[in-house]
Amino acid sequence: MNYRHAFHAGNVADVFKHAVLCRILSYLTEKPAAFRVIDTHAGAGIYDLASAEAQRGGEWQAGIGRLVGAAAAGELPDRAKALLEPYLDVIGALNERGAIKLYPGSPAIARAFLRAGDRLIACEVEPKASAQLERQLRNDGRIKVMTIDGWSAMTTYVPPPERRGLVLVDPPFEEEADFHRQSHNLGLAHRKWATGIYALWYPIKGRGEADALAKRVRKLGIAKVLRAELLVSKLKDQSRLNGSGLIVVNPPWTLEGELQALLPVLARLLEREPGGGSMRVDWLAGETTPVAARKPGG
């Protein structure tokens, strides 16, 4: 999967991933104690949706464009609207009302939630993307941009001094080995910082790699692991991105219920063809008996 994010910014995978990210960050801000976000594959920070790359595929129009349009038209159920509000507020702050020209990557989203004592370490190994990220986040003493391999960062910066926070692992999946690196490095990091929240994003073309990742994570023996997936089309054509998932270690206690309310709405709104959208929220380890995969109305 050759993944240059400028081509895909704001697509359906970003909407899913960043909506969940905002729920986790919102939870962290509910307590006064400081927290730290470690973004292992941070990207370039903010993306121009009018750029040649973004326009070539136009993927944002079927993702954030569709969501913002539905919100503006009052088409979101009240519960989903409330859960999406922090995410949509971040996007709205970057754009003029009624237009979407800029889309925030995960470090820009995280910055919007930082309070005076909170910190962000944004890691990006690609030099041009790292330099762009540095320009966008400069003059903010709460943030450090590191030109470092994300897999090394996953274990280098834990545990953080604050002992609260999130490690976001969102690799480009340019190599099949990235699936194995996720589970392996999660095990290493968790041994150093067992109480941190970890969110691991992965693409879904077919079930094989996603299910194998879940199986390896189960074998790590971590006490609480929640899995959430959003599909926008059926898995007939496994040469394309049909959806994506997040594995969340030590999820906020509110997250499972929030995702059960939010993901059916996103599946219905973002599906590529009628009946193509579906979602899953279940536990790989911990809290409850796994919940079966659901269709958008479920």
Q: How many domains does the chain have?
A: 1
Share of the chain above pLDDT 90, in %: 86
Categorise residue 284: left if φ over 0, alpha if ψ from -120 to 50, beta otherwise.
Answer: alpha
Q: pLDDT by residue (tens digit) across 125-155? A: 999 999 999 999 988 999 999 999 999 999 9
- Domain contains 48: yes
- Domain contains 174: yes
- Domain contains 295: no
Q: Note the pLDDT of residue 3.
A: 44
Q: pLDDT by residue (tens digit) across 237-256? A: 999 999 999 999 999 999 99
- Domain contains 118: yes
Q: Note the pLDDT of residue 6.
A: 73
228 pairs with which residues across the strands? 246, 281
Query: Residue 190 maps to which CATH number?
Result: 3.40.50.150
Band of pLDDT at residue 220, cut at 50, 70 and 90 = very high
Is 170 annotated as catalytic? Answer: yes
- Domain contains 126: yes
- Domain contains 27: yes
Distance CA 270, CA 69 (A): 12
Q: Using an 8 Å Cβ cutoff, are 241 and 13 in contact?
A: yes
- Domain contains 106: yes
What rounded mean pLDDT belongs to the chain? 93
Most confidently modeled range among 50-59, 69-78, 171-180: 69-78
Q: Using an 8 Å Cβ cutoff, are 190 and 220 in contact?
A: yes
> In Å, what is the CA distance from 145 to each residue of 111, 142, 297?
12, 10, 42
Q: Over range 258-277, report the average pLDDT.
A: 97
Band of pLDDT at residue 297, cut at 50, 70 and 90 = very low
Find the catalytic residue in 14, 170, 178, 282: 170
**Is residue 12 predicted with pLDDT exceeding 70?**
yes
Q: Note the pLDDT of residue 4.
A: 60
pTM equals 0.94
- Domain contains 9: yes
**Which residues constitute the domain of residue 71?**
5-204
Q: Note the pLDDT of residue 140.
A: 95
